[in-house]
Amino acid sequence: MERDLIRDIHAIAGAIVGISGLIQIILRKGGSFHRILGNIYFYSWFVIVGTGALLGSLLVTLFGVFGWYMAFTGYRFGKRKNSNSTLLDKIVISAGILFALSTLIWGVYILILGNITFGIVAVFFGAIFSFLCYKDILEFILKKPVRRLSNHPLQWYFEHFGRMIISYIAAITAFAVINNIFGIPLLNWILPTFIGTAIIIILNRRYNKKFNIRVGPKNK
């Protein structure tokens, strides 16, 4: 009975993230509605990770932390409206790299044990998570400009929407895995990432044009 309740809460939080995230992507950015919906989206992630940890496997839990990390850092960029990092941000980034490396190492371990599908998934997302956290450490803790828009006044804007979309990809991936949307386990895990990455590239190009941002050394 208790597990059923946790599962229902998890499903409701997932639905809220799925709907609010899609609306955020589609509708115009900025304004009070965007902020309210963003808060609902962000805090729903806490519920997803907490209930998911009680219900899911180690891989699902680590994957949920990845989604939460991107939602948290994306939310913080939108909240601060700059690329400066506070002590809280640095603590989360440091914890993030530990979870990321744990996912990567565990993926290698279960690959060695012969669990090919979940091993590939853990290594794939562990590597992505580790790479993103590594760059966050260089950029926001060690203050080394390593990104395309490092030190640009609008870096926070691109970091905000990019990270929020990545967290949304994580949520959609979980939905695809649980409901076997694509019929093949490995595709359920990986295909949403490729689709979401294409969307991020398209939006980056659109906002580069909108804000007249020239990509190159001058932005670094």
Alpha-carbon span 169 to 174, nearest angstrom: 9
C-alpha dihedral sign at 188, 37, 199, 139: negative
Q: What is the mean pLDDT of the chain?
A: 90
Integer-rounded Cα radius of gyration of the chain: 17
pLDDT bucket at 216, cuts 50 / 70 / 90: low
Place of tokens 């390593």: 146
Distances (CA, A) of 186 to 34, 54, 59, 177, 189: 34, 24, 14, 9, 5
Those residues whose C-beta lies under 8 Å from the C-beta of residue 196, and which sit 6 or more positions away, are 165, 166, 168, 169, 172
Among the residues of the chain, which ranges form H helices? 2-26, 32-55, 58-80, 87-112, 116-136, 155-179, 185-210
Please report, to the nearest 10 degrees, the dihedral formed by the alpha carbons of residues 86, 33, 153, 84 taken in order: 0
pLDDT of residue 220: 42
- The answer, as to whether pTM is greater than 0.85, is yes
CB atoms within 10 A of CB 157: 19
Alpha-carbon span 45 to 167, nearest angstrom: 9
Alpha-carbon span 188 to 41, nearest angstrom: 23
Alpha-carbon span 11 to 120, nearest angstrom: 26
Structural tokens at position 60 = 């699902």
pLDDT digits over 105-148, tens only? 999 999 999 998 889 999 999 999 999 999 999 999 999 999 88
pLDDT bucket at 1, cuts 50 / 70 / 90: low
pLDDT of residue 86: 93
pLDDT digits over 15-61, tens only? 999 999 999 988 887 888 999 999 999 999 999 999 988 887 777 78
